[in-house]
Every structure is written in C-alpha cells, then in structure tokens.
Amino acid sequence: MGKNLTFGSVCSGIEASQLAFNQFGFSQLWSSEIAEFPSKVLEHHYPNIPNVGDMTNIPNLILNKEIQAPDLFCGGTPCQAFSLAGWKNGLTDERGQLTMTFIEIANAIDKVRLDEGKGRGIILWENVEGVLNDKTNAFGNFIAGLAGLEEEIKVSKWSKSGYLEGNIRNVAWRVIDAKYYGLPHQRKRLYVLAGSKDFKPDQVLFEFDKTDVVRKLKVQNLKQTSPNIFVKEANEVIIGKVFNKQGVKIEVFREYTDCLYAAYGTKWNGNAAAYNGSLYVSENDRIRRLTPLECERLMGFPDNYTKVNGNSHTNRFQAIGNSWAVPVVKWIGSQISQYLDNESNSNFIKWQKFIKPKINEQNAVLYLLNGVHQINQTTFLNSSNIPNNPEHGDLKDIIEPNYALEKFYLSAKACAGILRRKRERKIKMNSKLELLMTKISGEKIKSPEPNQQLYVEV
C-alpha cells in the first residue's frame, strides 16, 4: 500500500488523523461525525472529503459499496459495558453499542476487500487508558472481537501494552504519552492496532533498540542540573518558573500540563488543575486559563484550526479536548508507512520466544507487556509510554501573551473560592499558585518558610 494507502475514520471529531497522516501520502476517503461544531470544522478544512454522519450506517454503506472500503480504518469509540457474548446474541447497550459497531465496520471493510481480492485492512483504535481497568472487561471483549475469537479474553489485570494472535486478526496495544512527542502535555492514551494474520502490529507499535531507552532517560533526568528544572518542595508539589515573552512576564506552574479535558471551557476551577496549576498561566501576575489557541498548540493543531464560522470558545475547548494528540498519531502513521515499505523484507524482530505468553481460557496466544523488556543480550523491546526517541515540548512555545480575553482571567472571587475549597478539603496546592491567588483574592498573605524557593527564573 505504502503512500497510496487510503483511510476512513469514525468519531472523527476535528480530524487529527487527517493532519497526522497527510504527510505520508495517506488519502482519506470519508469521515463520520454527527456533532454540529466538529462537523463545521470538517466542512471548513476538508470540503471534498464526505462526512457520512452516523457511524451505525457505515456497515451497510460499505457492503452496498456506497462508500469505499479503505486500507486503514481508525477511530475512538466509547467502550463501556461492551459484551462480546451480548453482541453475538443481538443484545444492545447504548454505552457500548458504538464499540460493537466499530468491529462491524471493520468486518464489513474486510469482507468487501477480500471479495475484491485484497487483504484485510489495518485497524487503529484510540481510547483512554482507563478502559484497561473497566469492571465489565470491555477491553477483553473488544480485542477478542477484533481478533475473531468466540469469547472474551479474561485476565486478572490488563497490562499497558500487549499482543494477541487471533483467528482472523493479530492485535497489539500500547499506552502512549503525548508529553514525549514534542508536546508539553501529559496525555496518556491507549492505541490498539490490528490487521490480518499476515500483518504484524507489534512491529509497528513496539520499538526495538540496543539500549533500555526508559532507564537511560531516567538517568539523564537525575543528572540534569539545568535551571529549567522545576523545583520541588518536600511534599513533591512542583512549583514553576518565570520567563519573559514579547515583553510580558509569564509564569507557568508545571513543566507540562495535565491532560486537557473536553469540559475545560466550563469546568475549569474545581478539579486537580485548579490546585497544581497545570492548566493555568500567570500573565503579569494575573492568573488565567489557557485560550483555545493555546489548547490547539497543546494538541499539535495549527493555530486557529478550530476558529471557524459559528464557533464559541466552549465549542473549541470541547472539540480540542475530545481529539487526538496530532504528533502521536503522526508517529503511528510514520511507523505504519515504514512497515508497509519494508513488509516484503520480512526483517522483523522475533521477540515472542523470549517472553512467556499469558495463559487464558481461550487458549489464544497472548502476551502482556509493560515497559521495556530485554529480549536478548543486544536487543530491548520498548512497549512503554515513552518512545525510543523522546521529544520534549516547552510551554514557552504554547503561551501567547497579550491575547487572552478578560473573561479568561480569574477574578478575586474565583481565587477566594478555590482557596476556600483547598482549605476545607485539605488539598495540596502549588505554593506559588497559592501565593498569587491569595494576593488576587485580597486575603492576608502568610510569610513563606525560611529559604523556601518558590520558582525558578529562566
């Protein structure tokens, strides 16, 4: 397939996959989005790519050849209360139905492709890592369904990465953190990659190196003495740093932000970010939220990508927070492209003989992996959330001074409310953030502890 690879997406949102895959020559055939604002963004940027709407109609559209069966099918669906047995018995559950539909679309695509003499397609699915801990075993049902197994796969605890050989597809998964892909944004997401029995998703999602990359990175961090390091207090609350940009004094309270959530536009002062400061910035000693533009940058989107006709700030925050981190998906696209270019060489790392498979009731070949595994004297398998070549972004590149509207700044009343909840609930708080909030609220400022370093100037 190579550069001629085609793809289709569901739960398309504002289409991070299009931005990520475009540079590799992947051509999008269709998207599927029903929400009004993301659909406007798609229409604005990709007017020539049809949005087929409700994904539940796609299996029939594929089988009736009203839309093409792509080489790659991707999307991220809700994955609660999904039962493989229930699906096979015709039962439905509103929360898990879209996940069942996702598998049905994949099967419809493969049926058409096989009828046309092509191989099965490649499947990419994204979700929050919490799905691995779902009490209904949603993940065990999902990968079993993709693999073509009759029953769910059950284990005591799902690992953050792994590999399953199924009846019709091989499946690999890996939790990946965007903060190692050039974004100052801690965003851990689960990526599942599947394909035919001839396809080797492990060679795409996992990496191989002569060194333990994760251990090497930790050692480097311990030796780091640059003033750019964020100072920590005894209670491990990270303080922050001050810098100047465009003549404006800027202060950030974390080296990277917490995960940007879809409700950031409406519920921004009552969660952890209100206390660790990770989704706040101080501009000339006034605390404010990040703007939609800055959130676009946090996710790797072009500036003002979501600034289309009919938008609101809440629309933009929600659409951005629900999307994929573009650099991570770009890395996956690069890995897929390289795999397809080298597929005929069959020069793949055969790591399975060095790691013991997990016994399961389905007698499926299943490997539960975590972190880095040394598979022989010279080779390490990396299935951690850190890539072999980590890149670190800088919040300096995210913050845009003299840009935020007045409504993005915290009022004295808002600061007082956050401080009150902090005291009532005995929540730990970033010391410099607390000092600034106290000043803004008009409350009396307590004297800092002797020799307490509140921030680093860089």
Which superfamily is assigned to 2-211+324-382 in CATH?
A: Vaccinia Virus protein VP39 (3.40.50.150)
pLDDT of res. 435: 93
pLDDT of residue 455: 41
What's the pLDDT at 357?
95
Contact yes or no for 155/140 (Cβ under 8 A): yes
Q: pTM of this prediction?
A: 0.91
Residue 97's pLDDT is what? 77
Q: What is the pLDDT of residue 217?
A: 79
Per-residue pLDDT tens over the stretch 49-68: 999 999 999 999 999 999 99
CA 60 remoteness from chain centre = 30
Q: What does the pLDDT look like over 141-198, one tens digit per residue?
A: 999 999 999 999 999 999 999 999 999 999 999 999 999 999 999 999 999 999 999 9
Report the C-alpha gap between 40 and 457 in whole angstroms: 42
Residue in 207, 212, 176 with CA at minimum distance from that of residue 191 = 176
Please list, in sequence order, all residues whose beta carbon lies within 8 angstroms of the beta carbon of residue 189, skipping any fewer than 6 positions away: 126, 127, 128, 129, 175, 176, 178, 324, 325, 328
> Cα–Cα distance between 252 and 458 in angstroms, integer?
11
Report pLDDT for 430. 92
- Give me 38's structure tokens: 């993301």
Among 52, 13, 60, 45, residue whose Cα is nearest residue 30: 52
pLDDT of residue 177: 97
Q: Cβ neighbours of residue 349 under 8 Å, at least 6 residues apart?
A: 203, 208, 375, 379, 381
Predicted local confidence at residue 237, as pLDDT: 46
Per-10-residue mean pLDDT of the chain, 458 residues long, equals: 85 96 96 96 97 97 98 86 54 65 96 97 95 88 94 95 97 98 96 97 95 80 51 50 94 92 72 85 95 97 94 94 97 96 80 94 94 92 95 96 95 93 92 94 70 42
Pairing of β 241-245 and β 456-457: parallel
Residue-level pLDDT at 234: 41
Retrieve residue 449's tokens.
């502890």
Residue-level pLDDT at 222: 57
Question: Where do the structural domains in the chain lie, given as residue ranges?
Answer: 2-211+324-382, 223-301+394-457
- Please state the φ and ψ torsions of residue 381, each to the nearest 5 degrees: -95, 125
